Amino acid sequence: MVSRTPLLTVDVVIIYQKKIVLIRRANPPYQGYYALPGGFVEIGETVEDAARREAEEETTLNVKLVKLLGVYSDPDRDPRGHTISIAYIGEGTGRLVANTDAASVELFDTDELPKKLAFDHEKILRDAFHVILNAHSPHNILFHSNRKR
C-alpha cells in the first residue's frame, strides 16, 4: 500500500448483547491480533456505508451506527502506510459469525479486553468508553453487563 496521500478507513466499536465485538485478524498486518471491525472506504462509498459494510463483512451483524466517535490520524497507526480512520459506535443485531478477514469473532466485557490490540484500537476503545459512560443516553448501560436497572 504505497500512496502519496493518506488512505481513508473506518472502525466500529460494536455493542452486541452488552459486550464489545472484536475480531481476530486473519491477515497481516497484526495477523492473529484482536481488532475492531473495520477497513478501507471504497470509491463512491460514504464513510457511514463503509462502516456498516465492513462490520457486516467481518461479523455478519447488522449494525446501526449510534455515534460518530472521532477521527484517528496518527501517520504511524498502520504499518502499511498513512491511513486516517473515522470511528463509530454502533449497535449490532443478528447472528454473530466470523466472516471475511476475520479468523474469529468474539465478545468481551469491558473489563476483560485483550491486552494487545491491532493498530490504535486500544485508544479508540478508551475513547468510546469515555463517551458512552459519560453520555446521558440509554447507550451507557451497554457497558455495564452487571449493572442493576
For the domain that residue 66 is a member of, what is the CATH number? Answer: 3.90.79.10
Whether residue 125 is predicted with pLDDT greater than 90 in this model: the reply is yes
Q: Are 2 and 77 in contact (CB under 8 A)?
A: no
What pLDDT is recorded for position 19?
Answer: 96
pTM of the predicted protein model: 0.89
3: cell is 500512496
Instruction: Answer whether residue 60 is part of any domain.
Output: yes
Report d(CA 121, CA 11) in Å as an integer: 8
Instruction: Answer whether residue 1 is part of any domain.
Output: no
Report d(CA 78, CA 74) in Å as an integer: 9
Report d(CA 45, CA 78) in Å as an integer: 21
Q: Which amino acid is at 125?
A: L
Q: Name residues whose C-beta falls within 8 Å of residue 6's C-beta, 6 or more positions apart in sequence.
A: 73, 75, 81, 82, 83, 84
Residue 101's domain comprises 7-143
pLDDT one-digit tens code per residue, 29-84? 999 999 999 999 999 999 999 999 999 999 999 999 999 999 999 999 999 999 99
pLDDT one-digit tens code per residue, 84-101? 999 999 999 999 999 988
What pLDDT is recorded for position 133?
Answer: 81
Count how many domains the chain has. 1
